[in-house]
A and B are shown apart, each in its own frame.
Chain A
Amino acid sequence: DQQVKQNSPSLSVQEGRISILNCDYTNSMFDYFLWYKKYPAEGPTFLISISSIKDKNEDGRFTVFLNKSAKHLSLHIVPSQPGDSAVYFCAASGGTDKLIFGTGTRLQVFP
């Protein structure tokens, strides 16, 4: 039973445009959500997070939106750059000290 779902395995965006990566979850007990970025031959690195008491968190070009009623979060990257090309994982936790990861979305930013 996949509690955290990333339904788009891949996304291709032109440099300078907006990238929107989506994530859905099923467990209403989740109260903290994170996005990780992974380059080939490297481990995942933390990108941005959001608590369930907020609906938006922004850090430079990256913004995460949380819609609790829809159990949906999204990561917006504006403007997209070629260096953003990577696999993005969303993850969620809910008082269990464990992270539940989605399956990942591969973002390709082309010139």
Chain B
Amino acid sequence: DADVTQTPRNRITKTGKRIMLECSQTKGHDRMYWYRQDPGLGLRLIYYSFDVKDINKGEISDGYSVSRQAQAKFSLSLESAIPNQTALYFCATAPGSGDIQYFGAGTRLSVL
């Protein structure tokens, strides 16, 4: 089983819909991250969390919100999806500061 699991793997939704992407990990790491990947832009940080009570905005947090329900779970929500949020979304975890991040397999989201 994967150490970092993202659900769903693929999702098609319509403009204006609320959608939640979920991430769970069995690695026991405190730090969790959400990125999006767009062609030609690499991976950009949306939100990150150092523990259950600590949530921080990344470079592109507008239009997104997150919830850290437990050490192992970190969810990303799009309150009202728009077409330019069509992208590949990745969750990552890390044990501590400056450490290697471990990624999930990604969620491909299409907003029509």
Partner-B contacts on A (CB < 8 A): 4, 6, 9, 32, 34, 36, 41-46, 49, 89, 93, 95, 97-99, 101-104
B98 contacts A44, C-beta separation under 8 Å: no
B103–A98 touching, CB < 8 Å: no
Contacting residue for B106 out of A6, A43, A93, A99, CB 8 A: A43
Q: Which of B10-68 contact A (CB under 8 A)?
A: 31, 35, 40-45, 48, 50, 58
Interface size on B, residues (CB 8 A): 23
Q: How far is the CA of A42 from the CA of B48 in the complex (A)?
A: 21
Chain A residues, Cβ within 8 Å of B98: 32, 93, 95, 97
17 chain-A/chain-B pairs, Cβ below 8 angstroms = A6-B42, A9-B40, A34-B100, A43-B4, A43-B103, A43-B104, A43-B105, A89-B43, A93-B98, A95-B98, A97-B50, A98-B58, A99-B101, A101-B42, A101-B43, A101-B44, A102-B42
Q: What A residues does B103 contact at CB under 8 A? A: 36, 43-45
A42 touching B106, Cβ below 8 Å:
yes
Are B41 and A103 neighbours in the complex by a CB distance under 8 Å? yes
Residues of chain B from 87 to 112 with CB closer than 8 A to chain A in the complex: 90, 92, 97-98, 100-106
Chain B residue contacts of A34, Cβ below 8 A = 100
Residues on A with C-beta less than 8 A from B97 are 97
Interface residues of chain A: helix, strand, loop or mixed (majority)? loop
In the complex, the answer to whether B105 meets A104 with C-beta atoms within 8 Å is no
Q: Given A93-B98, A97-B50, A97-B97, answer yes or no on A44-B44 (Cβ-Cβ < 8 Å).
A: no
Taking a contact as CB atoms closer than 8 A, the residue among A41, A97, A103 that contacts B31 in the complex is: A97
Residues of chain B lying within 8 A (CB to CB) of residue A43: 4, 90, 92, 103-106
Q: Are B31 and A44 in contact (CB under 8 A)?
A: no
B16 to chain A, nearest CB (A): 28
- Shortest B50–chain A CB gap in Å is 7
A99 contacts across to B, CB distance below 8 A: 45, 101
